[in-house]
Structure 1
Amino acid sequence: MGTGVYDTETELLAAAERAALVRKIDAEGVWAGDPVWREAFAAVPRHLFVPYYYVAGRHGYERRWGEGPGRRARERWLRGAYADVPLATRLRDGELLSSSSQPSLMARMLVALAVEDGDRVLEVGAGTGYNAALLAHRLGDDDLVTTVDLEPEITESARRHLDAAGFHPVVVTGDGARGVLERAPFDRIIATCELSTVPRAWLAQCRPGARILTPLATGLLALTVRDGAHAEGGFLDTAAYFVPLRGAGRTEPEGVSLAGLPGRVREQDTFRFLLALTRGTLDPREACALWEREGMPGRERYGVTVGGERTWAWLDEPAGPYAWPLP
């Protein structure tokens, strides 16, 4: 596998920082469910996928890059590339368009995806290409992995990064909400961008029994596909905040006023998750009463069902009594 254009000193520091990142994620017990992912994170060089990134500062975003002048600046870039934090990688007029997710969250998602040898995987949201490289390393076959993004600039840079790291999954420019029909059927679909509902095209492009893992309403939804029109599953207990999907599958959220709600409630993460999940269908005061009455439920008590023409979210049981329609 190629290691890019960096010198030996840089590569040695990168290897040390990568090992430290793996130890940190290991200490959190993330890989207990599927230890093979530890090998992928230990092998895939994240710094090749973030040749530059942006760090928020007092005067806006500061750009850090691997070809910058001065050894200290390059070391700061490299150490940041292996920090367990999300990295802003693409901005437009001050708006974040793309990022490299927090590595420990990526690890949790990949373990939850429950990938098996020989699976065909679709990634929605190519980002830097790093996640696709991890999948390609895990599966040992580039052709099993497809990654799609709406922005040509993002897919072009992801392809360059993947080439530099020695991986060649299929990179597609297109609307991820529509899937990638020519590469179907898929055994797994993983999204690295926030959606407001589950695109029906994904189900139609999955084999029966396929697994879909997607960010939804600040949570991570894991669905099992029954057929092209039916799927069901629950949320992981992990909070997750991602850049929204761009394209046909994106709907702009309506503002929600929290005026009149107790301060202790407004700041509670699991209450805000309920608000995001039921936005437009449940009044914040009603949501507050339900949340307190049901014992302040965490994300893992919620789920989503796609059934024919309907998609709905629910608490505890798909049949209710608490259920809310999704777009």
Structure 2
Amino acid sequence: MGAHDPARDDDKGLAGLGDLARLAAVERAALVAVIEASGAFAPDPRWRAAFTAVPRHLFVPYYYVSGVGGYERRWGESRDPRTRERWLRGAYEDTPLATRLRDGELLSSSSQPSLMALMLAALRVEDGDRVLEIGAGTGYNAALLSYRLGDAYVTTIDLDPEITESARAHLAAVGYHPTVVTGDGARGVPERAPFDRIIATCTLASVPRAWIGQCRPGALILAPMATGLVVLTVRDAGHAEGRFLHTPAFFVPLRGAGRPDAEPAVCGGVPRRARDSDLFRFLLALTRGTLDPQEAYALWEREGMPGRERYGITVDDGAAWAWLDEPEGPYAWPLPAP
């Protein structure tokens, strides 16, 4: 047998692993700098250490990039070292990554890291808090939570067993072992309750009653809704209330029984400047089924094109409604039954 020639390892898809590890560290540091520049860490700078330590690329061994002819699959175990490098650099871009598709439908993704950081900082966790994550995804967000709080304090749930199996494997490979549950996230995880924080990574039509009942008084629930992010404070098992953050947020819907897809609104007669406005589309999504687009437009104009932070959600003994400025003010709209 001849001497080992490292240059030949490219033919086996093995060469460059050391280089990839070094490149990953450089790219991860660059991503953390981008997140820091965005201001996402400002409310809780302790999250910077988590994003510095947890390797995102190991949670996305492949992902899909939209192209002219559909989706291109990028794979970390490609035989081509240039393809592997492109996969790695893409894993550390501050963008969401499509990780699971079925018949062209996006089922799961790794969220934009700066948005993840903003959400985690807004969750205001403290040592000893028990956190439930709705939507396990790749496991990356659960790993960040586990780094910060410890495995014993983190539970993540997803409806799809393939997703939870994959997330569990990714987490174990990086050394984290939070509780990963396969089930309907709308029902929470009662056997792990009570929780101090619940964070959802999927869009809701309303806040599931089970989540509120599984929280301690004073707990926070952070969830995407109507292209925004609402932060609710739980008063007791029947009451929670809070406002939206200013930032836009787009996630795949919460899946499971009893949650039909919303029909797109027909905006005939609404001026183009409103149809093109992210803030008007937020109001339209929040009031769908209650205000028609023309009514929503009249309110939007009358109130000076309000930002997301002027809106809020109240859940009170089973009833749930959205509101502008004040829970008992003149503008309030019922939400679907949770």
Fold conserved between structures, TM > 0.5? yes
Report SS of the residue matched to 2:204.
coil
Distance 2:122 2:328 in 1: 25
2:90 corresponds to 1:80: yes
Percent identity between the aligned chains? 74
Tell me if structure 1 keeps the 8 A contact 2:228–2:308.
Answer: yes
Alignment-derived partner of residue 252 in structure 2: 243
Residue 30 of structure 1 aligns to a residue whose secondary structure is: coil
2:48 aligned residue: 38
On the 8 A contact 1:191/1:215 being kept in 2, the answer is: yes
Q: Does structure 1 conserve the Cα–Cα contact (< 8 Å) formed by 2:209 and 2:318?
A: no
Question: What is aligned with 2:20?
Answer: 10
Is the CA contact 1:254–1:279 (under 8 Å) kept in the aligned structure 2?
A: no
5+ unaligned residues in a row in structure 2: which ranges?
1-13
Kept after mapping to 1: 8 A contact 2:242/2:314 = yes
- SS state at 1:13 partner: helix
- Superposition map of 1:204-283 within 5 A: 204-248=213-257, 250-283=259-292
Provide the rounded CA distance (Å) in 2 between the counterparts of 1:129 and 1:120.
17
Match of 1:67 in 2: 77
Deviations 1:16-59 (A, max 9, x none): 00000001111122111101000000000000100000001111
Measure the CA separation in 2 of the matches of 1:27 and 1:309: 41
- Does residue 320 (structure 1) correspond to residue 329 (structure 2)? The answer is yes
Deviation at 1:256, TM superposition (A): 1.1
- Tell me how far 1:7 sits from its aligned partner: 2.4
* AA aligned opposite 2:109: S
Q: What amino acid maps onto 1:124 in structure 2?
A: I
Distance in 2 of aligned mates of 1:228 and 1:137: 29
Tell me the TM-score normalised to structure 2 length: 0.94
Is 1:124 aligned with 2:134? yes
Conservation of the 8 A alpha-carbon contact between 1:225 and 1:231? yes
Secondary structure of the corresponding residue to residue 32 of structure 1: coil
Query: How far is the alpha carbon of 1:249 from its aligned partner?
Result: 5.6
- CA drift of 1:255 comes to 2.7
Tell me by how many angstroms 1:248 deviates.
2.9
Number of aligned residue pairs: 322
Of 104, 111, 117, 1:101 maps to 111
Q: TM-score, normalised by structure 1?
A: 0.97
Cα-to-partner distance string for 1:156-215 (whole Å, 9 max, x where unaligned): 000010011110000000000000000000000000001100000000000000000000
Match of 2:167 in 1: 158
Counterpart code for 2:314: T
Alpha-carbon distance between aligned partners in 1 of 2:182 and 2:171, rounded to the nearest angstrom: 15
**Large movers: runs of 4+ above 4 Å:** none
Between 21-30 and 216-225, report the one with greater CA deviation.
21-30
- For the pair 1:54 / 2:68, whether they are aligned, the reply is no
Q: Which one-letter code corresponds to 1:254 in the other structure?
A: E
Q: Which moved more, 1:251-260 or 1:222-231?
A: 251-260
What amino acid is the match of 1:70? Answer: D
